[in-house]
Chains A and B, each alone.
Chain A
Amino acid sequence: AQSVTQPDIHITVSEGASLELRCNYSYGATPYLFWYVQSPGQGLQLLLKYFSGDTLVQGIKGFEAEFKRSQSSFNLRKPSVHWSDAAEYFCAVLSGGKLIFGQGTELSVKP
């Protein structure tokens, strides 16, 4: 069955430091992959998605993600984290027209 794993439940980084959130997927064919962010008390906002083509995907708010088929990964990165980036981040794979979500990674940002 298709699945998404986010190995890190909680990550804390200092403001201005770089960030990488891990996502591994299990999917037979070429996956359609997504990263969403959920701020406290809010719905989900799409950061970026990968359908095909260039494996490095640029998103909103300065985020990017790289699709690596050999590693079954789609890690999210940001070169310099801002305090407003503190939120829950979800990786998802599209399967049968439906999104399957990972467990999420909670990001805390230290001043």
Chain B
Amino acid sequence: SAVISQKPSRDICQRGTSLTIQCQVDSQVTMMFWYRQQPGQSLTLIATANQGSEATYESGFVIDKFPISRPNLTFSTLTVSNMSPEDSSIYLCSVRDRGLHYGYTFGSGTRLTVV
């Protein structure tokens, strides 16, 4: 199955600043996904990152707040902009994994605390 490296694993940030999270996959994948997991909650899809085109955002998420880059088939970044304490969450990237017969593999997540 695919191996995903996600950085940073955790961070504590000041409100009003931005954090960029990186997701590196050890194989080429067509689609990458970014999720948010608020404390004690389930996972909510933020956007789908497509190589060569703009990301597709889910309802309630906007590009100005969560800009995404997808420069190639193995890498993506998610930026959390102008952070507030409400952005404190775990952010996870995911890929559709041929090695898992099209299951979805997740990175280990970025635990973000905004103070």
| A residues in contact (CB < 8 Å) with B | 34, 36, 41-46, 49, 51, 90, 97-104
Contacts and interface: CB of A to CB of B under 8 A. Distances in A.
Contacts of A100: 45
Nearest to B9: A41
Contacts of B102: 51
Interface string B2-25: 001010000000000000000000
Please name the 3 residue pairs, one residue from A and one from B, whose CB atoms are nearest each other, closest first.
Answer: A43-B108, A44-B106, A43-B106
A98 B108 contact: no
A100 B44 CA distance: 8
17 contacts: A42-B109, A43-B4, A44-B43, A44-B92, A44-B106, A46-B104, A49-B100, A49-B101, A51-B101, A51-B102, A97-B31, A99-B33, A99-B94, A99-B104, A101-B44, A103-B42, A104-B42
Interface residues of B, number: 24
B103 interface: yes
Given A46-B104, A46-B105, A101-B44, 6 more contacts: A42-B108, A43-B109, A97-B48, A99-B43, A99-B104, A101-B42
A34 B33 CA distance: 16
B103 A46 contact: yes
A51 B104 CA distance: 13
A46 B94 CA distance: 12
Contacts of B33: 98-99
A49 B48 contact: no
B43 A46 contact: no
Contacts of A104: 42
Given A43-B109, A44-B92, A34 B104 contact: yes
